[in-house]
Structure 1
C-alpha cells in the first residue's frame, strides 16, 4: 500500500469513526494471536486465499506478510494460492451451467 493510499484511508476516521472502530475491533478479534480455535498461521493462510479470490491487492499484501510472521512458508503460501485458483476455476466451471441453461430451447 502506498503512502498515498494510506492518506485516503484517513477519511474513514473523519467520516465514520464509529464504523471504523467496529471493523477494527471485529478484524482484530478474528485475527487475534491467541484465543481462537484455528491457529493464526492457518487463519492468515485462509485470508490469503480469500484475498486472492476477491482480488484485493491490499489484503493479499497484508495477510501474506502476517502469514509469514505467523510462520507460514513459501510452500504453504503457494498452496493457499492454489486453493484460491481451484475454487475460482470450480466456480466458473459450475456456473457455466447457467450459460447452458440460458442457451437451451424454451418451450412456451
Structure 2
C-alpha cells in the first residue's frame, strides 16, 4: 500500500466522497472530530492518538500512521512513546500470528480425522 501513498495528491480524491456520499462523509467527519476532540474525554488526546498509531501500525494503514503519528507528536508524544506504541502494535500482530498458528494446527488435526 505504501507504494501508492502520495500525501500531497491523494486527498484530492476526497472529492468523490463529497460528490457521491456527502451525508456519510459529514457523519464520518463529525464522528472523527468527536473521537479526537481535544477535551471532554476520559483519555487524554495524546493517549488516543497513540492508540490510533498502534491500530494504524497493526492495520498497516500508511495514511493513518502518517496522520496520527503527527497528531500524537503535536499532542505531546515523545519518540520514546512512539517507539513503545510501535512495539505494542508489533506484539499484538505477532500474538495474532501465534494464535492463528494454533488454529492452523487444530484445523490440520481435524483434516486427519476426516
Q: Name the TM tier (shorter chain).
A: over 0.9
Q: How far apart are 1:10 and its partner, in Å?
A: 1.5
Q: How far apart are 1:40 and its partner, in Å?
A: 0.3
TM-score normalised to the size of structure 1?
0.95
Cα-to-partner distance string for 1:20-55 (whole Å, 9 max, x where unaligned): 000000010000000000000000000000000011
Aligned residues: 107
SS in 1 for 2:113: coil
Equivalent residue in structure 1 for 2:81, among 73, 76, 84:
76
SS in 1 for 2:37: coil
RMSD: 1.0
1:53-92 mapped onto 2 (5 Å cutoff): 53-92=58-97
SS in 2 for 1:3: coil
Q: How far apart are 1:97 and its partner, in Å?
A: 1.2
The match for 1:101 is 106
* Aligned: 1:43 with 2:69: no
Unaligned runs of 5+ in 1: none
Q: How far apart are 1:101 and its partner, in Å?
A: 1.1
Instruction: Give me the whole-angstrom Cα distance separating, in 1, the residues matched to 2:86 and 2:79.
Output: 10
